[in-house]
């Protein structure tokens, strides 16, 4: 089996690569040619995979990649991934996260119509939902350019399935974290800075709304759901999350306590870091995934925080040697 992972260098792409290699896949990774790419997450995987470059703004380059690889499965994990930052680059986010998927779907329809396609959707589609928790039937009400662009891509993925009979699915994934999360994300910012403080390398951390709540899970668990969706007989969309929310304050408390520190001594709230529009509480009803995929969260919130703190502490200690 050949799998093409677009966005292979990211958190999810690296974990998915490891999963597929364990299952005997031949993995091809796609990275953008138009922006700098960090290889930290996949450095250990480079000897085991083949890499290609392309541009989501250029359909011909996507078609060329499909022609070259001839994949059985395609996972699109390539997208700007910060909802808050999307307000600073609305046109770019719309072109890549929205129209880029349209170009990719057209390339699949033209070049690889028998390939199975996974589109990374997001809980940001729900934005200000009329109900909680949210499932696959909950109306979408995105509140930022990222969510709006992803909604276009989501519905197009559905329509290509219905219009052309392609095997296309969307995974509506809630927040999922790991030690490979970028430092620009609040969870990794907290764990990395807490470890720095413990080692005397930092004095404090600036954060926004400590009462913001998220449904946080473990990324390794979530990439399994992506793969499972493409193993089904019929293509369907699935909500993936833990069904439980926690606040940023709780995340801080657990992270610092794991290092025998009191978070209140080191946290500084900065109004400039508050989101322009905070979503209402987003929490997943993953009952469909539990029933049809036999998928369940495998790591608790407390375990997730400890895993991330320990990894960042180890990373910093290694750098000190």
Q: Do the domains at 2-176+217-240 and 181-215+244-279+300-320 have one common CATH topology? A: no
Produce one character per residue of 194-230: b if its CB has 16 or more CB atoms within 10 Å, e if not. bbbbbeeeeeebebbbeebbbbbbbbbbbbbbbbbbb
Catalytic site includes residue 124 = yes
The domain made up of 181-215+244-279+300-320 is a member of CATH 3.90.25.10: yes
pLDDT beyond 70 at 276: no
- The sign of the CA dihedral 241, 247, 248, 254 is negative
Q: What kind of fold does domain 2-176+217-240 have according to CATH?
A: Rossmann fold (3.40.50)
Q: Mind listing the pLDDT tens digit for each residue in 115-143?
A: 999 999 999 999 999 999 999 999 999 99
Domain spans in the chain, listed from the N-terminal domain onward? 2-176+217-240, 181-215+244-279+300-320
Identified catalytic residue from 17, 65, 122, 168 = 122
Q: Residue 273: what pLDDT? A: 83
Q: What percent of the chain has pLDDT over 90?
A: 89
Count the neighbouring beta carbons within 10 Å of the beta carbon of residue 59: 19
Q: Residue 320: what pLDDT? A: 86
Q: Residue 279: what pLDDT? A: 62
Q: Residue 278: what pLDDT? A: 63
Q: Mind listing the pLDDT tens digit for each residue in 206-254?
A: 999 999 999 999 999 999 999 999 999 999 999 999 999 999 999 999 9
Q: What percent of the chain has pLDDT over 70?
A: 98
pLDDT beyond 80 at 73: yes
pLDDT beyond 80 at 280: no
Nearest to 142 by CA among 156, 157, 129, 158: 129
């Amino acid at each position: 089996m050949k799998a093409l992972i677009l966005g292979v260098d990211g958190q999810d792409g690296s974990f998915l690569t490891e999963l597929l290699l364990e299952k005997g896949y031949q993995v091809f990774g796609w990275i953008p040619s138009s922006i700098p790419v960090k290889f930290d997450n996949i450095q250990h995987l480079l000897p085991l995979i083949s890499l290609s470059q392309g541009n989501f703004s250029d359909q011909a380059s996507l078609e060329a990649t499909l022609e070259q690889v001839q994949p059985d499965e395609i996972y699109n994990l390539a997208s700007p991934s910060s909802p808050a930052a999307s307000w600073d680059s609305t046109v770019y986010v719309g072109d890549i996260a929205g129209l880029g998927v349209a170009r990719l779907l057209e390339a699949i329809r033209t070049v690889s119509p028998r390939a199975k396609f996974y589109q990374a959707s997001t809980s940001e589609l729900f934005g200000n939902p009329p109900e909680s928790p949210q499932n696959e039937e909950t109306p979408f009400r995105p509140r930022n350019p990222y969510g709006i662009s992803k909604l276009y891509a989501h519905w197009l993925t559905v329509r290509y399935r219905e219009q052309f009979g392609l095997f296309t699915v969307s995974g509506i994934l809630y927040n999922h974290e790991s030690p490979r999360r970028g430092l620009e994300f609040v969870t990794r910012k907290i764990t990395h800075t807490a470890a720095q403080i413990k080692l005397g390398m930092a004095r404090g951390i600036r954060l926004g709304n400590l009462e913001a709540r998220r449904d946080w899970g473990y990324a390794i668990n979530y990439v399994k759901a992506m793969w499972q969706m493409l193993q089904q007989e019929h293509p369907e969309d699935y909500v993936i999350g833990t069904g439980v929310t926690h606040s940023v304050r709780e995340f801080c408390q657990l992270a610092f306590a794991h290092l025998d520190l009191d978070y209140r001594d080191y946290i500084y709230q900065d109004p400039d870091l508050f989101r322009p529009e905070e979503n209402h509480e987003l929490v997943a009803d993953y009952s469909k995934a539990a029933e049809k995929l036999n998928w369940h969260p495998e790591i608790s919130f407390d375990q997730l925080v400890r895993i991330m703190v320990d990894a960042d502490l180890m990373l910093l200690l290694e750098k000190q040697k």
